[in-house]
Amino acid sequence: MKNQIFIPTFAKSITDIKASLSILEEIIAIGYEPCLMLVIKNGLKGLIENDKKEQYKNLKTLVVQYTKKPVIVMLSNFPLEEIDFLENSDKTIKHIKAGIDFASELPIGGRKIVTFHINTWISQEEFHATQEKEWLSRFDKAIMPSLLKISEYSRSKNVEVKIETDPVPVFGDIGNDDPSKYRGVRLNELRNPFLLTHGWGFEKLRQAGLGICLDFCHNRTIYKTIQQGDPDKVLLPFFLKKLKDGSLLDDLNDLRASDIAHLNDGLGLYSKSGSTFKEGVALGEGDIENLDDKIIYLNKIKIPFAIEVWDSDFTNRLETKRSITYLSRLNF
């Protein structure tokens, strides 16, 4: 077995489960162990009561087939107010604990993993008005206590928690024509003062007893922005100094055997003038440099990964299938 690959599936839909199962056969054919990543929709609502029962009912049909392979539960980023560590920490902890309960009670799988983003969204005005030392101190005072509570709860339920890394800016894939707002701020104008990288962030998560889910296309935007974009608008000076000579490969090298990855490609950069980046691009169709070598290294150190690409057709999963074809051509 080369590695474990997780395929996203929406367990509330039998049709979606069947589409995912058809892809699992293709993964076996190229020498990988296929697993499922359960995508949760509608925030807390998607983890409790009728939504939970319906997903469990559908997943029970896979008990014999799935055996004790690992399973990932990827929590939803929406509604935004349900997973905001700065403004709604109590609601956020409640949401994530429900996700941990959902994973621990799943009718399938052996190793249970929950992933989510540490959302810490602020306006540009807040971002620039606060000194970077104060922001870094605020992580320890405002964010770390919540992470420690989540870590303790996950251990009591025998569920692993991995934190997904963020792009820069966090909604840099949304254009200026999108009117959506959060706390009165347009989504693509929200800023995140905290980056999760080898230079800072990864060690904070490990101090809290949590793991890392390295999203390739997300961390790609950090280094692309530093090298080719306008980083002063979206990154604290602290991170510019820390990461100016860094790369996605450095983040990859800093992973441990218990961590996981979201494997994808990415394209473009966000700018105030209106350009955006593309997330979840099919493998080989973006601009991540030396992607082959990075995937080969993932397999060498046995870091499991989910193929997290944006499928234009969720029934036929064309972009996912092209990514699997890309993997099949790699020699290692």
Confidence of residue 221 (pLDDT cuts 50, 70, 90): very high
pLDDT at position 273 is 80
CA–chain centroid gap for 327, Å, is 20
What's the whole-number mean pLDDT along residues 196-225? 98
pLDDT at position 276 is 95
Hey, is 256 helix, strand or coil?
A: coil
Q: Provide the CATH number for the domain around residue 99.
A: 3.20.20.150
Q: What is the pLDDT of residues 226-269, one digit of tens each?
A: 999 889 889 999 999 999 999 999 999 999 999 999 999 999 99
Average pLDDT, the chain: 96
pLDDT at position 174 is 95
pTM above 0.75, yes or no: yes
What's the whole-number mean pLDDT along residues 155-165? 98
pLDDT at position 230 is 85
CA–chain centroid gap for 57, Å, is 26
The total of structural domains in the chain comes to 1
Give the side-chain half-sphere CA count within 13 A for 100: 20
The share of the chain scoring above pLDDT 90, in percent, equals 94
pLDDT at position 332 is 64
Exposed, middle or buried by CB within 10 Å (0-12, 13-18, 19+), for 263? Answer: buried
What's the whole-number mean pLDDT along residues 10-37? 95
pLDDT at position 232 is 85
pLDDT at position 314 is 86
Which neighbouring-strand residues pair with 305? Answer: 5, 261
Residue span of the structural domain in which 26 resides: 4-328
What's the whole-number mean pLDDT along residues 314-327? 96
Q: What is the pLDDT of residues 84-129, one digit of tens each?
A: 999 999 999 999 999 999 999 999 999 999 999 999 999 999 999 9
Task: Decide if 185 contacts 171 (C-beta within 8 A).
Answer: no
